Amino acid sequence: MVIVMKPNATQKQISDVSNLLLSLDLKPHISRGEERVVIGVIGDKKKLKEKNVELMEGVEKVIPIVESYKLASRTFNPVSTIVDVNGVSIGGKNIVIMAGPCAVESKEQLLESAEAVKKFGAKFLRGGAYKPRTSPYSFQGLEKEGLEMLYEAKKYTGLKIVTEVMDIHSIEIVSKYADVLQIGARNMQNFSLLKEIGRSNMPVLLKRGIAATIEEWLNAAEYILSEGNKNVILCERGIRTFEQYTRNTLDLSAVPVIKKLSHLPIIVDPSHGTGKSFLVSPMAKAAIAAGADGLIIEVHPDPKNALSDGAQSLTPKEFEALTKEISKVANAVGRDFI
């Protein structure tokens, strides 16, 4: 349930409502919008049954939350969340680009990618050290050695690091090297992993599951939020449909839907969303036009010889061209890039 205060409610009236909640062992969650304050109620709302909160001074109305994902919903928290990743904001006016290879393959490959993506405006270096591959015989990632290479690239370029954590056991080690923990599409409903990451305070990039509805995806976010971690960034990366031409079907309508239903920031992955490098730039532009807060893009110095996802990886030159286009689209929709 949320308690919507009147536009002219005083601080005392807001505190009176908060104190009533606290006295009943309920937790108030205060969102200050441009016009009014909304107080979300965390805990068993039955305790408020006979309190006639609607009649308290400064209260405009009390609305029940009908969504199953309460903390992730915009009803509960009408003000858009901006996730701060060690000084870089995601969800604000600036478009943030995360870019780099699918997998960390070698020091040289990673540094070359890092320098290129930094030069053209990326704020994050992506790269998997632990890779969820469809076949157990495919390259599985360099694991700890890969994390060390990411850390070195971070020290060298100043880029933040986003990398995947595949299981509970590796949360601790990945958190030592990464700025953002990526939860891959295949793990979106790995509830024990979600809960454990929810107990940490690390920013999380939660990719949409291959066959997940938007509601399931927001409930996955709820698992993380309900454990106390508020730093959730959603990532639309395409879903499986009957279409065979593209690797996945990039559901860009999810962007405005998420903006309507949730306060969480959302970025788009046109690389996995299409599987083909020529589609990455057009879909990246469309994503920003649709309201996405950023992009995650695979860039490799030599895509033809990449150990994974070469077909969808951009060369540094192609990435440069994309960033120029993104800058124009961002400006056209009232956002900034770089």
Per CB under 6 A, residues contacting ligand PEP are 102, 128, 132, 184-186, 207, 237, 272
Minimum distance, C-beta of residue 97 to ligand PEP, in the bound complex (Å)? 14
**Nearer to ligand PEP among residue 132 and residue 291 (C-beta):** 132
Pair 101, 299: CB distance under 8 Å? yes
Angle at 127 between CA 187 and CA 145, to 5 degrees: 100
Dihedral over alpha carbons 191, 195, 196, 197 (to 10 degrees): 100
Minimum distance, C-beta of residue 244 to ligand PEP, in the bound complex (Å)? 17
Residue 316 Cα to chain centre, angstroms: 24
Residue with the CB atom nearest ligand PEP in the bound state: 184
* Residue in this structure with the two tokens 């990886």, named with its chain if needed: 313
Quote the DSSP letter at residue 205.
Answer: E
By CB under 5 A, tell whether 269 contacts Mn ion: no
**Nearer to ligand PEP among residue 58 and residue 128 (C-beta):** 128
184 touches, from Mn ion, ligand PEP, none (C-beta below 5 to 8 Å by class)? ligand PEP
Give backbone dihedrals phi and psi of 66, rounded to 5 degrees, phi first: -90, -20
The SS3 of residue 52 is coil
Binders of Mn ion in range 292-321 (CB under 5 A)? 309
Using CB under 5 A as the binding criterion, the count of chain residues that bind Mn ion stands at: 2
By CB under 5 A, tell whether 102 contacts Mn ion: yes
47 touches, from ligand PEP, Mn ion, none (C-beta below 5 to 8 Å by class)? none
**Nearer to ligand PEP among residue 18 and residue 271 (C-beta):** 271
**Nearer to ligand PEP among residue 138 and residue 305 (C-beta):** 138
**Nearer to Mn ion among residue 48 and residue 102 (C-beta):** 102
As given in the structure block, the two tokens for residue 124 are 């994050």
43 touches, from ligand PEP, Mn ion, none (C-beta below 5 to 8 Å by class)? none
As given in the structure block, the two tokens for residue 117 are 């993506």
In 3-state terms, the chain is what percent helix, strand and coil (to 5)?
A: 40, 20, 40
Q: At what angle do helices 107-119 and 144-157 cross, to 10 degrees?
A: 40
91 sits in the region (left: phi over 0; alpha: psi -120 to 50; else beta) called: left
Residue 92 Cα to chain centre, angstroms: 13
Minimum distance, C-beta of residue 186 to ligand PEP, in the bound complex (Å)? 6
285 touches, from Mn ion, ligand PEP, none (C-beta below 5 to 8 Å by class)? none
Minimum distance, C-beta of residue 243 to Mn ion, in the bound complex (Å)? 19
Give backbone dihedrals phi and psi of 190, rounded to 5 degrees, phi first: -85, 90
**Nearer to Mn ion among residue 102 and residue 258 (C-beta):** 102
Minimum distance, C-beta of residue 134 to ligand PEP, in the bound complex (Å)? 10
**Nearer to Mn ion among residue 105 and residue 309 (C-beta):** 309
Q: Which residues bind Mn ion (CB under 5 A)?
A: 102, 309
